[in-house]
Chain A
Amino acid sequence: MEFEGRVIIRDLSCEMARGKISVVLGGSGSGKTTLLRLMAGLLEPTAGRILVDGEDITRLSETRRAAVRRKIGMMFQAGALLDSMTVFENVALPLREHSSMSRLHVTEVVDDRLREVDLLDIEDLGPKQISGGMVKRAALARAIIEGPPILLCDEPFSGLDPVSTRRIEALLIALNQRHGMTMVIVSHHVRSTLRMADRILLLLPDAIVVGTPRELLQSTDPRVVSFLDEDRPFEGRAPEVERLPVLAPRSKARRR
């Protein structure tokens, strides 16, 4: 995937398994957000294909993509809530737009969700009047309000204190366990990742590592180790690497 002349992702091919939590881990600039946006169809790859639930969305028109996106809920890094509406109205928006549910019914469902993310008491405030953690929770509520089978999260833990981080973590895990929601989470937060991921896609500067948390923790590659071990002081360039579970160069990101 190229962006204004710079290659951001090269030769990436992977599958995000259904019903599992896949985390794309990497430092800033590693291309993980780009990857997520590609999966969401917000970006088009310069080469390769993207399949969502078996459907190739790579060259689809906007209208057709909109139809596919009904299956996807997305939680943006800054929440992306509409400033002109209250929290309640924001979370209710997908329902109001896509369904003909009665006002009462909408209120019911929205309030339920807000209760789940513990935002019921501030539902009449605007996004500018609530804290960052609350914005993220509202964004999560909005993303899942229609019960989509797939959830994409862009840095759900960034900018949060440890308590809020764990809260969101718990919510996400609960969603996955209760509803079998397929999740793709982009993060640079190692600890949460290790705790919640079924599968990790680690984007390093010159390689991509895929594995379960355990596999990665047991890896002997210095780069992997240094990335995962956050408490370690910075050491400088790592020596060359041999056998690694690196993917063969194919360009097919498929999510089932």
Chain B
Amino acid sequence: MTRSPLRDALVGLFVLAGVAAGIYLSLAVGGLSYAGPHGLRLIARFDETGGLKVGAPAAIAGVKVGQITAISLDPEFRARIDLDLDSRLSLPIDTSASIMTAGLLGDRYLDIQVGGDSKLLRSGDEITFTQSAVILERLIGKLIHGADLGDGSAKTATPAPTDGKAAVPDRTRAP
């Protein structure tokens, strides 16, 4: 037990350094629980989620306002997405939601375009204007064949930008 005060000091330093490193790592990374406000629960249906994951962010103008809480298949074989958004948001009923890609290797997220109606969406409502995720292969297929390839689009294929953002929205479904 030949412990000197120096040893104890070094041990203390070591523990501090280790804990500090741990804390730094915890804070420096994302996702330390979305402690943001939530409460506005909405759903949205899509023909194609393109790999959108539960926990992915929902953003307005690029700012995170909530996240995806569930993804399931509805009876008509469309993807049903459950959202949990900041309850302070006032979203009109003609708000639209599109599945976008963040960066080249980035994950899918939900982009919300605020509408202009006077009536607002409440918890439990459905966002009716949706735009599915763009699948690169289908896009390339359209380019090559210049025709509708059964994904619901009625337009002739046009060279679309390859950053994942579709320039033309899908035929939207009326409520």
Decide whether A and B assemble into one complex. Answer: yes
Q: Which A residues are within 8 Å of any B CB, using their own CB?
A: 84-86, 89, 126
Range for the number of chain B residues in contact with chain A: under 10
Closest chain B CB from A116 CB (angstroms): 24
Please report the C-alpha to C-alpha distance between residue A126 and residue B2 in the assembled complex, in whole angstroms: 10
What are 7 A-B residue pairs whose CB atoms fall within 8 Å in the complex? A84-B1, A84-B2, A85-B1, A85-B2, A86-B2, A89-B1, A126-B2
Closest chain B CB from A242 CB (angstroms): 59
Please report the C-alpha to C-alpha distance between residue A85 and residue B1 in the assembled complex, in whole angstroms: 6
Contacts of A89 in B (CB 8 A): 1
Q: Which B residues are within 8 Å of any A CB, using their own CB?
A: 1-2
Please report the C-alpha to C-alpha distance between residue A86 and residue B2 in the assembled complex, in whole angstroms: 8
What is the count of residue pairs linking A and B with beta-carbon distances less than 8 angstroms? 7
Closest chain B CB from A100 CB (angstroms): 18
Taking CB as reference atom, which chain A residue is nearest B1? A85
Contacts of A85 in B (CB 8 A): 1-2
Please report the C-alpha to C-alpha distance between residue A139 and residue B109 in the assembled complex, in whole angstroms: 73
Contacts of B2 in A (CB 8 A): 84-86, 126
Closest chain B CB from A67 CB (angstroms): 26
Please report the C-alpha to C-alpha distance between residue A86 and residue B1 in the assembled complex, in whole angstroms: 8
Closest chain A CB from B42 CB (angstroms): 64
Closest chain B CB from A125 CB (angstroms): 11
Please report the C-alpha to C-alpha distance between residue A25 and residue B38 in the assembled complex, in whole angstroms: 85
Contacts of A84 in B (CB 8 A): 1-2
Taking CB as reference atom, which chain B residue is nearest A93? B1
Contacts of B1 in A (CB 8 A): 84-85, 89
Please report the C-alpha to C-alpha distance between residue A183 and residue B155 in the assembled complex, in whole angstroms: 106
Taking CB as reference atom, which chain B residue is nearest A126? B2
Closest chain B CB from A43 CB (angstroms): 30
Contacts of A126 in B (CB 8 A): 2
